[in-house]
Amino acid sequence: MKGLPHNLGWSIVKNAVSQMAGRLFLSAARLGIAAIIVRQAGSERFGEYSLLLSVLLIAEWLVDFGTTDIAVRAICQRPERQGVLLASLCVIKAAQAVTVFALLIGALYGLRYPAHIVHAGIVGGLGLFFYAGVLIWRTFFRCTMRMERDVAGEVVGILVMAPAVWFASAANASVVTLVACYTLSRAVFFAAVVLFGRREMSFGVPRMRGEDGWGVFRAALPLGFVGLLVCAYDTLAPLMLSKMGDMRDVAYYSCAMRFVFPVIIIIQAISGTVYTPLATYWKESTANFKRTQQHALESAVLIGAGLFCILNASAEWLVALVGPEMAAAATLLRILSFGVIARSISTMMSPLVIVAGRQHQALWLTIILVICKAAAFSWLIPRHGRLGAAIGDVGVEAVVGMVPMILISQYLAGVWLQWKRICVTVLCAFLALLACRLLGIMGTIWAGMLVAPVYLGLALTLGGVPLERLRELHRSVVGRFRPQSASEEQGCGVEPCDSEQETRNP
pLDDT at position 502, please?
38
pTM above 0.75, yes or no: no
| Residues 6 or more apart in contact with residue 76 via CB below 8 angstroms | 3, 143, 276, 279, 280
Q: Give the model's confidence band at 504: pLDDT under 50 very low, under 70 low, under 90 confident, else very high.
A: very low
Measured distance CA(445)–CA(440) in Å, rounded? 12
Q: What is the pLDDT of residue 365?
A: 79
Q: Is pLDDT above 90 for 138?
A: no
- Cα separation, 412 vs 353, in Å, equals 6
> Is there a contact between 400 and 392 (Cβ–Cβ < 8 Å)?
no
pLDDT given at position 361:
73
* Among 151-165, 193-207, 456-470, 472-486, the least confident range: 472-486
**In three state form, how does the secondary structure of 476-506 look?**
HHHHCCCCCCCHHHCCCCCCCCCCCCCCCCC
Average the pLDDT over each of 30-39, 292-301, 364-373, 476-485 and give the range with the smallest value: 476-485
Q: Which residue has the higher pLDDT, 429 or 54?
A: 429
Nearest one of 267, 258, 264 to 238, comparing CA atoms = 258
Which of the four pLDDT bands, split at 50, 70 and 90, describes residue 207?
A: low
Q: Which residue has the higher pLDDT, 493 or 171?
A: 171
CB-based contact 367:404 (threshold 8 Å): no
Sign of torsion over alpha carbons 375, 381, 387, 388: negative
Quote the CA–CA distance of 233 and 244 in Å, as a whole number: 17
Q: Would you say residue 6 has pLDDT above 70? A: no
Flag whether pLDDT at 406 surpasses 60: yes
490, 288 in Cβ contact below 8 A?
Answer: yes
d(CA 291, CA 30): 35
- With a pLDDT cut of 90, the percent of the chain lying above it is 16
Cα 57 from Cα 269, distance rounded (Å):
17
The candidate with the shortest Cα–Cα distance to 147, out of 14, 261, 24, 279, is: 14
Q: What is the CA radius of gyration of the chain?
A: 22
Is pLDDT of 206 > 60?
no
DSSP codes of every residue in 283-349: TT-HHHHHHHHHHHHHHHHHHHHHHHHHHHHTHHHHHHHH-GGGTTHHHHHHHHHHHHHHHHHHHHH
Chain mean pLDDT for the chain: 79
Q: Report the largest interatomic distance among the alpha carbons of the chain, rounded to a whole angstrom.
A: 68
From CA 141, how far away is CA 272, in angstroms rounded? 11
481 vs 92, higher pLDDT: 92
Instruction: Look at phi and psi of residue 123 and say left if phi exceeds 0, alpha if psi is from -120 to 50, else beta.
Output: alpha
Work out the pLDDT band at 429, boundaries 50, 70, 90: very high
Lowest mean pLDDT among 114-128, 262-276, 339-353: 262-276
Where residue 15 falls among pLDDT bands split at 50, 70, 90? low
Residues 6 or more apart whose CB falls under 8 angstroms from that of 269 comprise 16, 19, 20, 23, 151
Residues 6+ apart with CB under 8 A from 424: 459, 462, 463, 464
pLDDT at residue 1, as a whole number: 43
Q: Is the pLDDT of residue 231 over 80?
A: no
Residue 495's Cβ-side half-sphere holds a number of Cα atoms within 13 Å equal to 6
CB-based contacts of 137, cutoff 8 Å, min separation 6 = 149, 150, 153, 193, 194, 196, 197, 201
The pLDDT, as a whole number, for residue 171 is 83
User: What values do phi and psi take at 135, rounded to 5?
Assistant: -65, -30
pLDDT confidence band for 434 (50 / 70 / 90): very high
156-204 pLDDT, tens digit each: 999 999 999 998 888 888 889 999 999 999 999 999 998 987 776 665 5
> pLDDT for 56-108, tens place per residue?
888 888 888 877 777 877 777 777 777 777 877 888 888 889 999 999 988 88
More confident residue, 83 or 46: 46
Q: Is the pLDDT of residue 437 over 50?
A: yes
Of 19, 35, 275, 266, nearest to 149 (Cα)?
Answer: 19
- All residues at 6 or more sequence positions from 35 whose CB lies less than 8 Å from its CB, including other chains: 321, 322, 323
Distance of CA 65 to the CA centre of its chain: 15
When mean pLDDT is compared over 227-231, 436-440, 471-475, the highest value belongs to: 436-440
Model confidence at 294: pLDDT above 80:
yes
* Euclidean distance between CA atoms 224 and 359, whole angstroms: 9
What is the average pLDDT across 455-476? 69
- d(Cα 235, Cα 212) in Å, to the nearest integer? 33
Residue environment code for 189-200, b if the CB has 16+ CB neighbours within 10 A, otherwise e: bbbbbeebbeee
Q: What value does the mean pLDDT take over residues 293-321?
A: 88
In the predicted structure, residue 475 carries a pLDDT above the cut 80 = no
- pLDDT category of residue 8 using cuts at 50, 70 and 90: low
What is the pLDDT at residue 127? 92
Q: Residue 476: which pLDDT band, with cuts at 50, 70 and 90? A: very low
Report pLDDT digits (tens) over 440-453. 899 888 998 999 89
Contact in structure between 415 and 289 (CB atoms under 8 Å): yes
145 φ, ψ (degrees, to nearest 5): 55, 45
Would you say residue 471 has pLDDT above 80? no
For position 496, what pLDDT does the model report? Answer: 38
Note the pLDDT of residue 248: 78
Would you state the pLDDT for residue 185?
93
Spatial contact of 352 and 412, defined as CB atoms under 8 Å apart? yes
The pLDDT score that the predictor gives to residue 462 is 83
Q: Write down the pLDDT at residue 487.
A: 44
> Hey, which of 19-33, 184-198, 476-490 has the most confident mean pLDDT?
184-198
3-class DSSP string for 370-396: HHHHHHHHHHHHHHHCHHHHHHHHHHH
